[in-house]
Amino acid sequence: MLNKWTFRGLKLAKEISTWSKDPSTKVGSVILDQNHRVISVGFNGYPKGCNDDGMENREEKYKKVLHSEINAILFAKQDLKNCTIYVYPMPPCCRCAGAIIQSGISSIITLEPSPEQYERWGDDFDIAYKMYQERNVHFMQYSISEFDEECLKDKNNGN
């Protein structure tokens, strides 16, 4: 069972992911401080002011898109030491892991990658996991079924 703040962080990251214009992969991130205050949010997309056309062209998209974690870190514009980043629907890649570590974020909470996600990006996830271990960054993954169960309970409670 997810605790209240873990669920809230992941649920908010899920909502933020819907803001992405990427037709194939929508990712959201939320950074909370130690008092559970929202510091920043981010979703995967092109840099501010760049035309969103071309998302269907995978090769161009991969060269232009900023990941949600990077957007959240850049928009924070403050020290992120000891903050937690919640990432939905999959773990950060190794490039984002580097930025997370460098920013001072001390905890990452996300969902386990699906078999399809792991097949596609597993090498990146594995490198990121090693980086977290090297720097003693707290990393916690929950199964999608755990998260979905909490969402259902939340919906049944009228939230």
Q: Are 60 and 83 spatial neighbours (Cβ–Cβ below 8 Å)?
A: no
Q: What pLDDT, in 10s, does the model give residues 146-155?
A: 898 888 888 7
Which pLDDT score is estimated for 88? 97
Compute φ and ψ for 55, nearest 5 degrees: -65, -25
Average pLDDT estimate for 34-48: 95
Tell me what the pLDDT averaged over the chain comes to.
Answer: 93
Per-residue b or e along 70-83, where b marks 16 or more CB atoms closer than 10 Å to that residue's CB: bbbbeebeeebeeb
User: Per the residue annotation, which of 69, 112, 146, 149 is the catalytic one?
Assistant: 69
Compute φ and ψ for 156, nearest 5 degrees: -65, -20
Report the DSSP pairing between strands 138-142 and 107-111. parallel
Average pLDDT estimate for 34-45: 96
Average pLDDT estimate for 58-82: 93
For the question of residue 134 being annotated catalytic, the response is no
Percent above pLDDT 90 for the chain:
75
Q: Are 38 and 67 spatial neighbours (Cβ–Cβ below 8 Å)?
A: no
DSSP 96: H
Question: How far is Cα 112 from Cα 121, in angstroms, rounded to an integer?
Answer: 12
Strand boundaries in the chain, DSSP class E: 28-32, 38-43, 84-88, 107-111, 138-142
Q: Are 80 and 60 spatial neighbours (Cβ–Cβ below 8 Å)?
A: no
Which pLDDT score is estimated for 56? 81
The answer, yes or no, to whether residue 21 has pLDDT greater than 80, is yes
* Torsion sign, CA atoms 54, 57, 58, 63: negative
